[in-house]
Amino acid sequence: MVSLEDRFHCENGRFPVPGKVIRDAHPYGVLDLSHVLWKSSNIGATKIAQRLDPAVHHRTLQALGFGRRTGSGFPQESAGLLRHPRGWRPVDRANIAFGQGVNVTAFQLAAATAAIANGGVWRQPRLVKARRTPHGEIEELPLAPGRPALRPETAATMLQMMEGVVGPEGTGKRAAVAGVRVAGKTGTAQKLDPRTGSYSNSKYQAWFIGVAPIDDPRLVTVVMIDEPKGISHTGGAVAAPVFSRVATAQLARMGVRTSNGPPRVETVLSTPAPTPPVGGAESLAAAESADSVMRFGDRVLVPDFTDRTVDEVRRAASGVIDVVIQGEGRAVAQEPPPGTIVDGRSAPVRVRFARGPGEG
């Protein structure tokens, strides 16, 4: 077993195990347990797994719902892939430790993370919250009973460690939401190249999964961007900013107000957005409405001005939000970010514009 006080030498970025050399994106020396998570060290995760009994490791993954269908009702839902520990070689134990030796679905990730947020209790996810009866009444469907997956104290420690991932030392700092405590984890998965039968060095999936707010969990969101294009392909650079935007908008609809100030780290607005995660699509659409600004009394929900012209931004904000225009062309960034609730006319929104290639 391992504890928060344990230290792991991360071999300055290169660690051989039988059958493979494990590498980190950056060279690290000695890291404690929390920093292994914050820095997303493959070598640190491998050394943690080497201390665990494979059967216990496998049993914990199963308890969190991996390797079996969630029962959500999603058509043809996959059970993913989690092999029996009898077949785990040293290289398999390493790969499974940092997520490359298993196959999971977004539903499984969301349910497992929700179990951590729920004090260690795993609950079956559902696609439909309520239905209309033949008499026209709305009837909420009951939740399936939960089952223990982790000890409550273990879940609480995990959530605290995951908050550090979104902190200044973590790989998920761009997932921060202004005024709200967020916990999460980044992931960058190499895709299998069918031509070579090995992992690709050019095609990736960028992941981020987060919980907000962690002192009263209301929302778990999974973001996955398949084969991101651009100078970066990591979950922290590509998927984490999308989480920040979706979570801010969804929390606003739940009545959880974010502060007027920006997140701890600037949100990247030029990242292409993926298909919204289940449960977040409605809030994302509301936050990014092209023609209206949502109001909450004297407060308003800042829309996404990205890619609009100066005139379009002024029309959308007219009479509701004061905007400060910077530059010409189309909107490429704004402060505060989309989904932030501000005090109407007293809190201006700064929108930066730039001309694209070929524009006059």
> What tens digit of pLDDT does each residue of 4-25 get?
999 999 999 999 999 899 999 9
Least confident of 28-32, 71-75, 129-133, 289-293: 289-293
- pTM here is 0.72
Q: Binning pLDDT at 50, 70 and 90, where does residue 344 land?
A: low
Does residue 39 surpass a pLDDT of 60?
yes
Does residue 283 surpass a pLDDT of 70?
no
Least confident of 30-44, 76-90, 208-222, 273-287: 273-287
Secondary structure letter of residue 213 according to DSSP: -
Q: Which residue has the higher pLDDT, 307 or 153?
A: 153
End-to-end CA distance of the chain: 63
- Residue 258: the pLDDT is 76
Burial environment of residue 224 by CB neighbours within 10 A (0 to 12, 13 to 18, 19 or more): buried
Average pLDDT, the chain: 85
Specify whether the CB–CB gap between 316 and 291 falls below 8 A.
yes
How many Cβ atoms from other residues are within 10 Å of residue 164's Cβ? 18
H/E stretch holding 44 reads: helix 42-51
Those residues with Cβ within 8 angstroms of residue 154's Cβ, 6 or more apart along the chain or in another chain: 120
- Per-residue model confidence as pLDDT tens digits over 212-252: 999 999 999 999 999 998 788 999 999 999 999 899 888 98
- Residue 168: the pLDDT is 92
Domains of the chain: 104-124+147-287 (3.40.710.10), 290-354 (3.30.10)
pLDDT above 70: percentage of residues in the chain = 87
118, amino acid identity: N
